[in-house]
Amino acid sequence: MKNIYTTIIALLISASCYGQAWISQEQLAKDYDLLTTALKELHGGLYRYDSKSVIEEGFANYKTQFTSSQSLQEAYIVLSEMLATVVRDGHTYPNYWNQTGDIQNTLFNGADKIPFTLKYIEGEWLLENDLSGNGLSKGSKILSIQGIPVKTIQDQLMKKFKVDGRNMIKKYNQLNLTGQDKFEPVDIYLPLLITPNEGEYQIIMEDVKGEQSELSVELITREERKQRLESEYGVTPKSHDDMWEKRDLNNNTAYIKQGTYVTWRMDMDWKDYIEQFFIEANNSGKESIIIDIRGNSGGMGEVFWYTLKFLVDEKMEVETFKQRFAYQKVGDDIKPYLESWEKGLFDLSERTVSAENGTYRRKGMDKATRLIRPNDHVFKGNVYLLTDGSNSSATFMMAKALKSKNLATTVGESTGGNLMGTTGGQMFMLRLPNSGLEVDVPLIGYYPATNASDSGLLPDYAVEQSSKDFIEGVDSVLEYTLRLIKSDKTN
């Protein structure tokens, strides 16, 4: 039955491609060969999770999907799935943000977005905000779209979602839809996989009482959804500054939300914000603090390194990752198709030396630890870190550092990211000349000093948001943490 629904999705993809320019099989094959060549020559972590032979087999298998002309939409879907299932790297994907304006308008910016915000809880798509005008209650479940069961749709979506290794927690997290960001994975891939019928989806819903209804739901643009969120629910667009928050939860506990590490899009002085939080917590005699990084997929690593200064009461060496490059000089065959904000990346031969297994490291940078010196306002009480599946890259490293050094009690979901490391730091943007699609190629492979499992980081206390608490507006993880603090204080 699942194969039948997968075939239906394939047919719906094909039907939605009319009106798009088609790319010939020969052009697609040239683009694909350029992509795989660039990955093999430049990617800093291509063989992290699988052997060279497995990667080569995966590349060959997906090349068979380019045996005829395709639309831009079809090519984007195939490349997304290939990178997500063969390369398995959270920074390697056809980056929505880096596509040209024309491609964004063609693939991402249509009036084809569902008029809901959604939360993925306990395997279900639960309605958070209904913006369709149908009066649907919070917690209602989507059962099917265009006759396709929601589980089949979710499985197809997750095949396209970027992830580090085989950490499925990160993929589940990407099934959430907040309606706040310009580009969200569900918004990107759902309309590409399932074409609307005259601007509508037929959706079967089940309300919290178990009653089902079939609705014709008119699809809208992202901007219209944001406007409805604000006018109907008072949910205003968040700036990057708004994603941070600090407050007292009670006389004994202070709370700070670090909602993003994308500091280059922030106006406020984030260092001063962190310092003031710890000054206030100390001056008011707080016994515990909660640092909440849920929903934060990373950004500038300096944020967590700076935060650590307030959590150590003496100098401490914290384990990081070894950094390795796969190349020293970019080949002339792929150089014309690469873009980067740092021109020096095209030739690293003067700055790198040979390392193990045919890789290269920066001269004088083989140390896999970082020295943390305490700040004058170190907090010496109990620290609790709230995590979820979004945490990858810098926020994964934050969770790993705090847990490994017993600097915090971790509560919530397993993290995204991967204990086997990640690839990032520096990036080439590869522009495929025939389709025009862009793919991010991360360059620095970050590897642990010892062997590690292909998984995220497990919290000390595993707690997930329950559907009951979600419907009632209760934060399951935060409430559990407050009970834990009270229990720790009693014991």
Could you report the per-residue pLDDT of 160-187, keeping only the tens digit for each? 999 999 999 999 999 999 999 899 999 9
Top pLDDT among 9 and 253 is at: 253
Mean pLDDT of 298-312: 95
The mean of the pLDDT values for the chain is 94
> Could you tell me if 379 and 276 are in contact, meaning their C-beta atoms sit under 8 angstroms apart?
no
pLDDT band at 469 (very low <50, low <70, confident <90, very high): very high
Q: How many CB atoms within 10 Å of residue 391?
A: 32
Q: Which pair of structure tokens corresponds to residue 356?
A: 């193990």
Q: What phi and psi values does residue 226 have, to the nearest 5 degrees? A: -60, -40
pLDDT number for residue 432: 98
**E strand spans, 388-421:** 409-412
Q: How many CB atoms within 10 Å of residue 169?
A: 21
Could you report the per-residue pLDDT of 210-221, keeping only the tens digit for each? 999 999 999 999
Q: What phi and psi values does residue 403 have, to the nearest 5 degrees? A: -75, -45
Which among 422, 424, 444, 441 has a CA at the least distance from the CA of 432?
441
Residues β-bridged to residue 121: 124
- C-alpha 439/C-alpha 218 separation (Å) is 32
DSSP letter at 122 equals T
Examine the pLDDT at 11 and tell me if it is beyond 50.
no
- C-alpha 155/C-alpha 157 separation (Å) is 5
pLDDT number for residue 10: 54
- C-alpha 258/C-alpha 241 separation (Å) is 10
State percent of the chain over pLDDT 90.
90
Residues β-bridged to residue 145: 148, 203
Mean pLDDT of 299-311: 96
pLDDT number for residue 6: 52
- C-alpha 132/C-alpha 251 separation (Å) is 42
- In three-state secondary structure terms, 219 is coil
Examine the pLDDT at 115 and tell me if it is beyond 60.
yes
Say how many Å lie between the first and final Cα of the chain, rounded. 54
pLDDT number for residue 364: 83
Residues β-bridged to residue 447: 322
Place of tokens 């507006």: 473
Mean pLDDT of 316-338: 95
Residues β-bridged to residue 217: 201
- C-alpha 337/C-alpha 326 separation (Å) is 18
Mean pLDDT of 112-141: 97
Which among 85, 196, 203 has a CA at the least distance from the CA of 144?
203
Q: Which pair of structure tokens corresponds to residue 123?
A: 């395997």
- Which residues does 476 contact at the CB level (< 8 Å), separation at least 6? 463, 464, 465, 466, 469, 470
pLDDT band at 15 (very low <50, low <70, confident <90, very high): very low
Do the strands 360-362 and 352-354 form a parallel or antiparallel pair, or are they unpaired?
Answer: antiparallel
Place of tokens 């509508």: 200
Burial 213-248 (b: 16+ CB within 10 A, else e): eeeebbbbebeebbebbeeeeebeeeebeebbebee
pLDDT number for residue 4: 52
Domains in the chain, please, with CATH? 2-107 (no CATH), 116-152+174-233 (2.30.42.10), 241-490 (3.90.226.10)
Q: Which pair of structure tokens corresponds to residue 98?
A: 């880096």
Distance from the Cα of residue 325 to its chain's centroid: 23
Examine the pLDDT at 17 and tell me if it is beyond 60.
no
Examine the pLDDT at 16 and tell me if it is beyond 60.
no
- 3-state SS of 418-468? CCCCEEEEEEEEEECCCCCCEEEEEEEEEECCCCCCCCCCCCCEECCCCHH
- In three-state secondary structure terms, 161 is coil
Mean pLDDT of 112-120: 98
- In three-state secondary structure terms, 243 is helix
Could you report the per-residue pLDDT of 49-94, keeping only the tens digit for each? 999 999 999 999 999 999 899 999 999 999 999 999 999 999 999 9
State percent of the chain over pLDDT 70.
95
Residues β-bridged to residue 386: 292, 411
Place of tokens 């320019």: 21
Examine the pLDDT at 128 and tell me if it is beyond 60.
yes
Distance from the Cα of residue 261 to its chain's centroid: 13
pLDDT band at 12 (very low <50, low <70, confident <90, very high): low
pLDDT number for residue 416: 96
- C-alpha 121/C-alpha 150 separation (Å) is 13
Q: State which H helix or E strand residue 322 sits in.
A: strand 322-324
- C-alpha 166/C-alpha 419 separation (Å) is 11
- C-alpha 104/C-alpha 95 separation (Å) is 10
Could you report the per-residue pLDDT of 399-457, keeping only the tens digit for each? 999 999 999 999 999 999 999 999 999 999 999 999 999 999 999 999 998 899 999 99
